[in-house]
Amino acid sequence: MGDATYAKGLEGVIAAESEICLINGAEGKLYYRGYSIEDLAKSSTFEEITYLLLYEKLPTESELSSFQNKMRKSRPIDTVVQNMITQFPEKGSPMELLQSVITYLSSTVSHTIHHSDKCNCRDTLHQIAQLATVLAMYQRVREGKSYVAPREDLSHGANFLYMMRGEEPDPAEGAIMDKCLILHAEHGFNASTFTARVVASTLSTCYCSISAAVGALYGSLHGGANERVLDMVDAIGSLDNVESWIDKAMAEHKKVMGIGHRVYKAKDPRATVIEEYLKTLSENKGDSFYLDMLTKIEATVNDRMKAEGKLLFPNVDFFSGAVYSLLGIPRDLFTPIFAISRVSGWLTHILEQRKDNRIYRPKCLYEGPQGQSFVPIEDR
């Protein structure tokens, strides 16, 4: 093996230099291009942080206005994409639909790929703009309803809710949806982002890179824990059952969903922000079932883990599913919503990869047979 080291799952391996996202797992801090996630969630919009990620700086008013205008004008989907949605097999998943649409979009543009400065990824904002439209229409079609064209006067998040519901959301709900997109837009070298960079490193198109990233996110070890948090809350059923359920789960060495993180060894800062949104929505809707259950689950896990000398905290998925659910979003759209947000981060990483590209080509540790003699098929 020479000097090479082997790290299963590439744990601890630094695969590239990056200026996009800093995660301080020990202190539970997250920054996009040096700006704290708390500040961005409080004061920014999904469109503005998309600009920040793609252009490496916060926009001026006129830069934001022209970027926003371009992205909003890119929101409508053409009839071919609408037909893809209506004809999509019923048993197909929305993630497969998103991959198909991205591949279709790729075939509609001319690609000036192959090198960073000539790449047109930044100009093809319809990847970022249209995935939300596709997902909203997908939901309507399966409810037997028709396409609702996007509006240009709403934020990305509010417009998603509008297109899905067919009516304008309450401003607080629209703002919370938009902020949830901010919180999920970027998170360093996770599996889907790494996938996007690996594909981009071959000088494939940004569309193919993003389609591959959607495929990586589809896997249950990456997206989807927020869905399972709600399944867990359903299984527990009531506040009275929380402690006994957690004790049994721990005795059986089962993982409590939405708890723990490979990188964060403190409370995930996104969880802290989303918890506030859950409080707001629970109060506005007069429905605190999820909030009460999750609060008690968190306290119980905390208590039991401390007794075992372990420090485990909620991650972003712990509260996000409950927020989406109160926004009227079905559970199987939670991971696709992650994709409609993370596409900004993926695109940013593709651009960064191309700036100083070298194709990814790790080695494997060969453990198979050697020196075999070939036996003709008739003699086997």
Beta-carbon contacts of residue 370 (< 8 Å; ≥ 6 apart)? none
Residue from 202, 310, 328, 359 touching ligand COA (CB under 6 A): that is 310
User: How does DSSP assign 207-236, residue by residue?
Assistant: HHHHHHHHHHHHSTTTS-HHHHHHHHHHHH
Element of type H or E holding 32: strand 29-32
Q: Which is nearer to ligand COA, 181 or 312 (CB)?
A: 312
Q: Please, what sign has the CA dihedral across residues 327, 331, 335, 340?
A: negative
Least distance CB 298 / ligand COA (angstroms): 11
Site of tokens 């279709």: 104
Q: Does 57 bind ligand COA (CB under 6 A)?
A: no
Least distance CB 301 / ligand COA (angstroms): 7
d(CA 274, CA 176): 9
317: annotated active-site residue? yes
Q: Which is nearer to ligand COA, 308 or 378 (CB)?
A: 308
d(CA 205, CA 86): 27
Q: Cα–Cα distances in Å, from 194 out to 15, 208, 216, 346? A: 9, 14, 9, 9
Q: Does 345 bind ligand COA (CB under 6 A)?
A: no
Q: Does 323 bind ligand COA (CB under 6 A)?
A: no
Count residues binding ligand COA (CB under 6 A).
Answer: 14
d(CA 184, CA 315): 12
Q: Which is nearer to ligand COA, 37 or 316 (CB)?
A: 316
* Residue type, position 376, single letter: P
The gap from C-alpha 75 to its chain's centroid, in whole angstroms, comes to 19
CB 68 within 8 A of CB 47: yes
CB 273 within 8 A of CB 41: yes
CB 357 within 8 A of CB 203: yes
Q: Does 200 bind ligand COA (CB under 6 A)?
A: no
Least distance CB 305 / ligand COA (angstroms): 7
Least distance CB 258 / ligand COA (angstroms): 5
184: annotated active-site residue? no
Q: Does 317 bind ligand COA (CB under 6 A)?
A: yes
Least distance CB 345 / ligand COA (angstroms): 15
Of residues 217-256, those binding ligand COA (CB under 6 A): 225, 255-256
Least distance CB 254 / ligand COA (angstroms): 7
Q: Does 183 bind ligand COA (CB under 6 A)?
A: no
Taking alpha carbons only, the member of 127, 154, 131 closest to residue 85 is: 131
Phi, psi dihedrals of residue 291, rounded to the nearest 5° = -60, -45
Among residues 156, 178, 184, 317, the one annotated as catalytic is: 317
Least distance CB 120 / ligand COA (angstroms): 33
Q: Does 261 bind ligand COA (CB under 6 A)?
A: yes
222: annotated active-site residue? yes
Q: Which is nearer to ligand COA, 169 or 258 (CB)?
A: 258
Stretch that binds ligand COA, among 20-28, 120-128, 315-323, 365-373 (CB under 6 A): 315-323
User: How does DSSP assign 326-374, residue by residue?
Assistant: HTT--GGGHHHHHHHHHHHHHHHHHHHHHHT-----------S--SPPP
Q: Does 315 bind ligand COA (CB under 6 A)?
A: yes
Q: Cα–Cα distances in Å, from 174 out to 160, 170, 219, 327? A: 8, 6, 28, 9
Q: Which is nearer to ligand COA, 241 or 357 (CB)?
A: 241
Q: Does 257 bind ligand COA (CB under 6 A)?
A: yes
Residue facing ligand COA at closest CB distance:
260
Q: Which is nearer to ligand COA, 175 or 250 (CB)?
A: 250
Where in the sequence numbering do the catalytic residues fall?
222, 261, 317
The residue ranges that bind ligand COA (CB under 6 A) are 225, 255-262, 310, 312, 315-317
